Amino acid sequence: MITILAIESSCDETAASVCRDKVILSNVISSQKIHEKYGGVVPELASRAHLQAIVPVVTEALEIAGVELKDIDAFAFTQSPGLIGALLVGAEFAKSLALAFDKPLIAVHHMQAHVLANLIRPINTENKIPSFPFLCLTVSGGHTQIVVCESPLQQRIIGQTLDDAAGEAFDKSAKILGLPYPGGPLIDKYAKTGNPDKYLFPEPKIDELDFSFSGLKTAFLYFIRDNQIKNENFVEENLPDICASIQARIVSILLNKLKKAAAQTGIKDVCIAGGVSANSGLRNEFEKLGKEEGWNTFIPKFEYCTDNAAMIAITAFFKYQDSQFEDFSVVPSARTN
């Protein structure tokens, strides 16, 4: 049995998880609240908050899992992509532990890990997981990708955003509405009681399997501005309908491309992943589309959709099996590649 301690610190969550083989024993997440008042993540503040949180978060993850540091077979961390100062905290912490306990060090790609969140089985259940090759729509605050996952460590991107990510489309729309950061979950909340057909927003015409959200953002900005000129209380009076309508358009842009990708590849096991896969509109429409198309659909448990270390741990487990270890010269990288 292989026990791994994984650390995730790429953005504004400090997270640690212990997994034993493919079972997650603990999954602790500390979300940084400091960024709310700035309307977005402030990198310098994120690094400082990671430094404050990392010891308590790792300690709690070990306690919940019922293991001690000496029981850990390998230490894993998120290497890229992310905020460099934030990544450095997790990377150096994992390195120090690996050095002190003389155990292997494993570097994990954050986006690959989001996809592999679909392979996490809850303890004591027979919960089904996708078969290879499977398709995954990975939608987060920084990325929007359609990936063919051939095996745990072989993933091929077949479509991606040319500008904003889906999470940014949610967060920027929320900001235009005067909602605090991160606005995605709030749009989701207000959309629940709104009419998604009330306002029609444009669907961009982008080739093949790629995405674009910047045109939608501009259209939304002008729509709100024009309506506020006519009625200064337009947003307050129509918030649920506005949220439901913009959410419906973001979701339809995502799912139309996913449908195209499934048709092109002929793959029937289809997953979603990343922070935006926590969106209830996307989850419902994805399940509905899956039924229509005859797909086997998979969505990670809610806590494994937004940033977490359990997904880093499971990815590290596969890397451990493949002896993909790092030496201590390894450094994190802000970039995707």
- The kind and range of the H/E element at 121 are none
For residue 173, state whether it binds ligand KG4 (rule: CB under 6 A): no
Residue from 39, 40, 185, 240 in contact with ligand KG4 (CB under 6 A): 185
Region of 274 (left: φ > 0; alpha: ψ -120 to 50; beta: rest) is left
Cis peptide before 182 (omega within 30 of 0): yes
Residues numbered 140-169 forming contacts with Zn ion, rule: CB under 5 A? 140
- C-alpha 95, offset from chain centre: 24
Pick between residue 231 and residue 284 the one whose CB is nearest to ligand KG4.
Answer: 284
Region of 266 (left: φ > 0; alpha: ψ -120 to 50; beta: rest) is left
Cα gap 209→224, rounded to integer Å: 29
The tokens for 291 are 């039924």
Residues numbered 251-280 forming contacts with ligand KG4, rule: CB under 6 A? 274-276, 278-279
Q: Which residue is nearest to ligand KG4 (CB)?
A: 275
Cα gap 66→55, rounded to integer Å: 16
Q: How far is the CB of 3 from ligand KG4 (least distance, A)?
A: 25
For residue 46, state whether it binds ligand KG4 (rule: CB under 6 A): no
Q: How far is the CB of 170 from ligand KG4 (least distance, A)?
A: 4
Per-residue x/- track, 293-312, Zn ion (CB under 5 A):
--------------x-----
Closest among 98, 81, 79 to 330, alpha carbons compared:
79
Cα gap 318→21, rounded to integer Å: 9
- Please check whether residue 169 is in contact with residue 250, taking contact to mean a CB–CB distance below 8 angstroms: yes
For residue 104, state whether it binds ligand KG4 (rule: CB under 6 A): no
Residue from 4, 11, 65, 88 in contact with ligand KG4 (CB under 6 A): 11
Pick between residue 244 and residue 305 the one whose CB is nearest to Zn ion.
Answer: 305
Residues that bind ligand KG4 in the complex, under the rule CB under 6 A: 11, 140-142, 167, 170-171, 182, 184-185, 188, 274-276, 278-279, 306-307
Residues that bind Zn ion in the complex, under the rule CB under 5 A: 140, 307
